[in-house]
Amino acid sequence: MPYLELSLRSTEAEQPRYERALEDVGALSVTLLDADADTPNERAILEPGVGQTPVWKSLVLTALFDADTDALALLAALEAFDPALDWSDAAFRSVQDQDWERVWLDQFQPMHFGTRTWIVPWDHALPDAADTPDAAVVRLDPGLAFGSGTHPTTALCLRWLDGLATAGVLDGAPVLDFGCGSGILALAALKLGAAGAVGVDNDPQALQASVDNARRNAVDAQLAVYLPHDEPAATYPVVVANILASALDALAPTLAARVAPEGRIALSGILRGQEQELLQRYGAWFDALQVHNDDDWVLIHGRKRR
């Protein structure tokens, strides 16, 4: 199946704004490339590395969209979202599935988060450090869904879940992963001791990726996935939502209602500078909200009042 690929150059300072705009208008994935590398193979990564957002002063951003996306309408939407950015350099081409998947398989390496959590490519040898009874290992192939652990928003959530497990909060608890993407957070929670997990995403491709990854990790019986309008109303002791700040704002009453009294919530996908409005918004339901940063990205977490 072909996809429409948009590519453009960016500076390090402007990269978060470009990426946010591309995601807002429906990019299926955003790839960062070193604009000064000699060859594409030397420069490609699918997501910026942990603590490295990005590592280059000059970048090429590439974003995948559905093949039937109208390029001119897409440019108009991007210009409307952030008219201060220069979109005139944008170039388009049609690419196949295997182009994206091959780059991901070439670049993705095992990663360690917190004390016990490991994210390992499904076909990669298990690192010696992860080959212990206590390690929580998630074997992952995200396909075209967001979430391989390399983006700071995902890394922040993984470290938060690992910390909850260390404190015993996840033991036997059901978890809601809202905006589940590849299922990485729900699967990590299950591997860390959660009794069950529910994944919600508005992209059917993401739900399929979550189910496929759950099977790879032999936890498919513990994971249920839903489109937002099919999600059963329930409360959970642990809720994590790694989506855009605008969606976190709009969904605040819904997400707050999903958290049980004294339950925990983590909100990510937030650019630095967007957190104050969300702290005020979620402060209506949650006490002692805290902020953790990873470069330009922010995670907010707290406990719901009784």
| Structural domain containing residue 238 | 109-304
Starting at the edge strand found earlier in the chain, the sheet holding 111-113 runs 111-113, 117-121, 136-140
What integer is the mean pLDDT of 143-165? 80
| Residue 3 confidence (pLDDT) above 90 | no
Residue-wise pLDDT tens digits, 20-29:
999 999 998 8
Same domain, 290 and 187: yes
Lowest mean pLDDT, pick from 42-56, 90-104, 278-292? 42-56
| Residue 174 shares a structural domain with residue 297 | yes
Q: Give the count of domains, the chain.
A: 2
Reading the block at residue 199, the tokens are: 């994944």
Do 75 and 119 have their domain in common? no
pLDDT of residue 107: 59
Of 28-37, 76-85, 174-183, 283-292, the one with minimum mean pLDDT is 28-37
Closest to 15 measured CA to CA, from 36, 41, 34, 2: 34
Sheet containing 2-11, strands listed edge to edge, beginning at the edge strand earlier in sequence: 44-45, 29-34, 58-66, 2-11, 91-96
**Does the pLDDT at position 140 exceed 90?**
no
CA-to-CA distance for 254 and 20, rounded, in angstroms?
23
Above 70 in pLDDT, residue 150? no
279 and 141 within one domain: yes
Residues 134 and 172 reside in one and the same domain: yes
User: Which tops the pLDDT comparison, 103 or 293?
Assistant: 293
Strands 29-34 and 58-66, sheet pairing: antiparallel
106-131: per-residue pLDDT in tens? 556 788 999 999 998 877 788 888 88
Confidence class of residue 89 from pLDDT cuts 50, 70 and 90? confident
Dihedral, CA of residue 43, residue 48, residue 53 and residue 57, to nearest 10: 10
Instruction: Report how far residue 106's alpha carbon sits from residue 75's, in angstroms, rounded to the nearest whole number.
Output: 30
Q: Using a cut of 0.75, tell me whether the model's pTM lies above it.
A: no
Question: Does pLDDT of 273 surpass 50?
Answer: yes
Higher pLDDT, 71 or 46: 71
Among the listed residues 251, 242, 254, the one whose alpha carbon sits nearest the alpha carbon of residue 301:
242
Same domain assignment for residues 16 and 130: no
Q: What is each CA distance from 298 to 22, 93, 135, 152, in whole angstroms?
A: 19, 33, 26, 8
How does the average pLDDT of the chain come out, rounded?
85
Domain-terminating residue out of 105, 122, 152: 105
Beta pairing partners, 8: 61
Does one domain contain both 147 and 294?
yes
Residue 167 and residue 247 share a domain: yes
pLDDT in tens, 195-243: 999 999 988 878 988 999 999 999 999 999 999 999 999 999 999 999 8
Q: Which residue has the tokens 């019986």?
A: 221
Same domain for 171 and 266, yes or no, is yes
Does 185 score more than 80 pLDDT? yes
162-to-112, 136, 158, 168, 170 alpha-carbon distances in Å? 10, 9, 6, 10, 9
Q: Which of 89, 105, 121 lies at the terminal end of a domain, its last residue?
A: 105
Condensed to tens digits (0 to 9), the pLDDT of residues 232-253 reads 999 999 999 998 888 899 999 9
Same domain, 190 and 152: yes
Last residue within a domain, chosen from 84, 105, 126: 105
Q: What is the domain-level CATH number for residue 241? A: 3.40.50.150
- We report the CATH number of the domain holding residue 73 as 3.30.70.260
Query: 92: helix, coil or strand?
Result: strand
Kindly tell me the burial class for residue 235, based on how many C-beta atoms sit within 10 Å of its own C-beta (0-12, 13-18, 19 or more). Answer: middle
Cα(257)–Cα(286) distance, rounded to whole angstroms?
11
